[in-house]
Amino acid sequence: MPKPNFNDAPKPLLEVAKYLRSSSAKLKIRQGVLNGRRVDFFKGKHAVNAVMRDTYAKYSKALPAVEDRPAAEKLIADAHQNGFFLRVEKPPKAKTLALQPMQVFSPDAYYIWVYEGSQWRGTLLGLLVLLLTLAGVMFPLWPASLRLGVYYLSLALLGLLALFFGLIVVRFLL
């Protein structure tokens, strides 16, 4: 399944999707399985409630204004029509999901995220782990003074660890 391109989506709806994916929205997101893949899903009324919160107006100036619940439902329905999330069917007490053929927004239905947001943090973290691993593997090629510094640093951390274990033993005995 090709990744959708959200660059041509309306900017206000893109900002709404970014807000809903952020932690400041406090959207109750759960994990489920769709076609053997783990996906994030949420209930439509929780997304409407997130748009109605005070944090919505403070998140960004580019977000469209929402005055009442019908306006919030319309905004979420517009984001749904632009493909940021898809409607799914969730059986009771199960984590397996199935796509619904009729993609119409309803506050009582469940939706999976298609929009994942910016992935630059994950890419940067992966690159950092790769560079640290490469530096660790090349330890024998380091200059002698740097290897000696790492040796003393490891001894200091080992001493700190021994101190913590000693405090645990002393606390346990008292």
The pTM is what? 0.72
Per-residue model confidence as pLDDT tens digits over 77-131: 999 999 999 999 999 988 899 999 999 999 999 999 999 888 888 999 999 999 9
> 15-67 pLDDT, tens per residue?
999 999 998 999 999 999 999 999 999 999 999 999 999 999 888 888 998 99
Q: For residues 18, 24, 26 and 28, what is the CA-based torsion angle, rounded to 10 degrees? A: 40
Strand ordering across the sheet containing 85-89? 30-34, 37-43, 110-113, 85-89, 98-99
Instruction: Say if CB 84 and CB 15 are below 8 A apart.
Output: no
Crossing angle between the packed helical segments 69-81 and 11-21, to the nearest 10 degrees? 100
